[in-house]
Structure 1
C-alpha cells in the first residue's frame, strides 16, 4: 500500500470547518416560536451565517426580527428579516459600539411571551463593543490592544472585557428579562465555557472586577484612568450565578472544537491513518506548544509512541504569541515555523495548522503547511528561519515559500486546528 500523501491534512482541515458551518449545525437546535415576538441578536465571525440559517428555517407565519454584527468581510449579503452589520476585529470600532447599543434597545421592554434568540460565536467579544459608563471607546481600544500584544489567554482577556462592558458578562440577559432567552453557541474557547464565548452577554459571570484589575497588573498593562476608576467601582460587577435575569435563560452548544477534530479524525481513518486527538483546549505560547508537538512527533517516528506510523497527531485550542518582532505573524504560522525549526527537516513529518475562521490572527490566510524540506527551501530563498521566528514573521516565511493556506472567511470559528502527519 502506497504511503498516504500529505494532502490528507488539508482535507482534514476542510472537514473540521465543514462540521462547524452554521447551515449544518444550527437548524436542529432552533426553539419553537413563542406566543409573542422573536428578537434575534448576535455577534461573532459566524453571526451572519447563523442568522441566515435561522431565517431559512424559521416559520414564515411567526414574527422574526433582529440584528447581528460580524467581522468586516464575513457577511452573507442582506437578509430578509434580520439586519447584518459589520465591524472591526480584533480591536473594536464605532460600528460595533453602535450595533451593541441598538441590541440593548431592541431587547428592552420585552414580556414573558417574547423570545430572545442570541447567536454567539468566536470574535463576538471585540465585535460587541459597548463601553461601561464613564469609559470611552478609545480607552477600551487601548486596553484591548495591550492585551493582544501581552500574550494573555482568552479567559483573561474576556474577564477584562466583561468588566469594561455595558452588555457583556450577563448584562444583556438582565436587559432582556423577563423574556425567554435561548443562546446558540459556536465555541471558539478552550473548555467550551459559555461565559467566555463572546464574553457571555446572556450567561452568568463568576469572575470579578478585582480579578480583571489583577490581570492588567499581571501583564504590566497600565489602564487609562477611567478604566481603573470603573474597575474600582462596585457598579462594575457583572450579574452572578443565581441572578433572576437567568431564570428563563438557557444555552445550547451547537458546534465545538472537539466535534470538528472528530470530523477530521474520520477523514484520517478513511485514508488508513491512525488519528490521535491530543486535546481541543491546548493553550500556551505558540513556540512552546510547537516544541512539545515536535517531541511527540519524533517519538512517534522513532519509537512508535504514543502512536505508530502512519499516524496523525490532532489538536485544537488557542495558542498565544507575545509579539516582540516586527514581522507578519499569525499564531498558526508562528507555531508551524517553530515546529519546522524544532524538527530540523525530519523526512517523515508533515503538518498543517490554521484558524477555522479562515483568518490567522489579522492576516489574509487561514494558516500554512509544513513539509520536510521547508527549512531547506527557506534557506535557499535567503531566509534565516530562526531570525524570522525571533521577528514573529511566520507569515513572511510561508508566503515566500507559497505554502500559505488561503480559504477566505469561513463564517464559522471553532478555534485553531493542528494536524501533524508521521509517515
Structure 2
C-alpha cells in the first residue's frame, strides 16, 4: 500500500477515535437521583456507550440497550442484546418492548438515561397498534432502495412506531430523562438521531404519506389508518435534556488536525453532505480538479474532507454501499489524474450489506487489467463492492462501535 493510502487510513482512524464515547461522559453526568438509575438505549454505538457510561457513573444503575448483531461490548450492569439492522427483526421488537416497559416502570425519583446513536431506528422497532413487523420490514426495504434521505425515512419510521418520536420519554414520565447522543444525521438534530425515541415532537401523518407517495411506496388502507391513529396524541412529554457525545464535525476536525500534522492542507467541505452518491462524487471531482490545476480552493498538497449521508437508488444488485459507490464514481471522474488518492468509508464499519467499511483508490488509476468500461459496468449495477473486491481495495475494519456516518477523504498532491 502506497504512502498516500496509508495517510488516508490514518485520517480515518483519527476520525473514528474522535467519534468514540470513551471518556466523554465524565464532564456531562447528571446529578444522581434519589431513586434508581435506569439506562436504556439503541444504536450501533449503544453498547460502547453503555460500557463508557458504566465506567463514568459512580452509582448503581441497571438497564438494557440493543445494538446491531456483532456490535456488542462487555458490560457489568447494563444488559446488551443484539438485533437486525437496517431491516428490523423480532429480536429488535422484543428488545424495544422490554425497553418501553423499563421506562414505563420509572418513578418520580428515578433517572432514565437514554443512549441513542445511529441505527436505533431499525433496532428499536416496536410497531404501532395496527402495524405488523412485516409491514415495517416492507416499508423499510422499499425506502432503503428508493434513495430516500435519512430524515425522511425517519419521519415514516416514527409514524409506524410505538416507541420513537418521543414516545419513550412519554412512557418514562414523571421520571427525569437525560439523553446522550452520537449523531449520524446531517444537522445533528436530536429528533432525527435514531428517530428520537426520547425527544418529544409533534407528528403529522400527512408528512409520512407524502414521503411514501414521493418514493412510490404503496401501503394498504389499514396501514394508512394505523398511521393516522398513531400520530394523534393528546399530550407530549416535557422537553428532553440532550447531551452530545460525538458528531460528524468532531470526527472531521480530528482528521483535519491529523492531516496538518502530516504536512497537508485540510479543507472540510461539510459534515452534512446529502444526495445521490454518484452525483456527489461528480461535484467533489470538480473541486479536486480545481485543486490540482489551480490550487483553489486550497493549495496542494491538500486533503478534502467531508461527512454526512449520501444515498443510493438501487437499480442493480445493490452490493456496493453508498461509500464504495461514491468512490467508484469519483474514480471514473478523476481517472486521468495521477496525483489523486481517495478513501470513503462508513464510520460504523459497515457500508451497505457487505463486510467492508468502504474502499480506496490511488494515483487515479486501478491496477492493469481493470478498464474504465468495466468500472462503469460495475457502477451501473450498483456493485462497487464487487469492483473494489476484485482489486483488493476494500477497507475492512469490522464493527467500530461508533457511528457518525460517512467519512470521505480526497488527497491531491
TM-score class, shorter: over 0.9
**Partner Cα separation in structure 1 for residue 242 and residue 275 of structure 2:** 28
- Pairing 1:186-225 to 2, within 5 Å after superposition: 186-225=182-221
Runs of 5+ unmatched residues, structure 2: none
**Partner Cα separation in structure 2 for residue 212 and residue 335 of structure 1:** 28
- 1:25 is paired with a residue whose SS is coil
The residue aligned with 1:246 is 238
Shift of 1:232: 3.1
- 1:309 is paired with a residue whose SS is coil
1:418 aligns with one of 399, 408, 411: 408
The residue aligned with 2:399 is 409
1:153 equivalenced with 2:149 (yes/no): yes
- 1:384 is paired with a residue whose SS is helix
Structure 1 residues 271, 238: closer, same or farther in 2, change over 3 A?
A: farther
Shift of 1:229: 1.7
**Partner Cα separation in structure 1 for residue 279 and residue 9 of structure 2:** 24
- 2:4 is paired with a residue whose SS is coil
- 2:218 is paired with a residue whose SS is coil
**Partner Cα separation in structure 2 for residue 422 and residue 166 of structure 1:** 49
- 2:275 is paired with a residue whose SS is strand
- Pairing 1:10-409 to 2, within 5 Å after superposition: 10-59=9-58, 62-77=59-74, 79-233=75-229, 235-237=230-232, 245-247=237-239, 249-375=240-366, 377=368, 379=370, 384-409=374-399
**Contact in 2 for aligned 1:194/1:203 (Cα 8 Å):** yes
Shift of 1:383: 7.2
**Partner Cα separation in structure 2 for residue 185 and residue 220 of structure 1:** 32
- 1:40 is paired with a residue whose SS is strand
**Partner Cα separation in structure 1 for residue 358 and residue 152 of structure 2:** 25
**Contact in 1 for aligned 2:335/2:365 (Cα 8 Å):** no
After superposition, give the CA deviation of every residue in 1:344-383 in whole Å (9 maximum; x if it has no partner). 2311111010000000122101111111253454526x97
- 2:13 is paired with a residue whose SS is helix
RMSD (Å), alpha carbons: 1.7
**Partner Cα separation in structure 2 for residue 151 and residue 237 of structure 1:** 28
**Partner Cα separation in structure 2 for residue 110 and residue 386 of structure 1:** 56
**Contact in 2 for aligned 1:122/1:414 (Cα 8 Å):** yes
**Partner Cα separation in structure 1 for residue 205 and residue 395 of structure 2:** 40
* Higher mean C-alpha deviation, range 199-208 or range 400-409: 199-208
**Partner Cα separation in structure 1 for residue 35 and residue 318 of structure 2:** 53
- 2:65 is paired with a residue whose SS is strand
Shift of 1:111: 2.2
- 2:356 is paired with a residue whose SS is coil
**Partner Cα separation in structure 2 for residue 14 and residue 238 of structure 1:** 44
After superposition, give the CA deviation of every residue in 1:159-186 in whole Å (9 maximum; x if it has no partner). 0000100000000111001100000000
**Partner Cα separation in structure 2 for residue 328 and residue 244 of structure 1:** 41
Number of equivalent positions: 412
**Partner Cα separation in structure 2 for residue 206 and residue 351 of structure 1:** 42
- 2:313 is paired with a residue whose SS is coil
**Partner Cα separation in structure 2 for residue 322 and residue 22 of structure 1:** 32
- 1:68 is paired with a residue whose SS is strand
- 2:23 is paired with a residue whose SS is helix
Shift of 1:113: 1.1
**Partner Cα separation in structure 2 for residue 4 and residue 145 of structure 1:** 40
**Contact in 2 for aligned 1:67/1:85 (Cα 8 Å):** yes
* Higher mean C-alpha deviation, range 334-343 or range 205-214: 205-214
Shift of 1:26: 3.2
4+ residue segments displaced more than 6 Å? none
Structure 1 residues 215, 378: closer, same or farther in 2, change over 3 A?
A: farther
Shift of 1:253: 1.0
**Contact in 2 for aligned 1:170/1:238 (Cα 8 Å):** no
**Partner Cα separation in structure 2 for residue 237 and residue 170 of structure 1:** 13
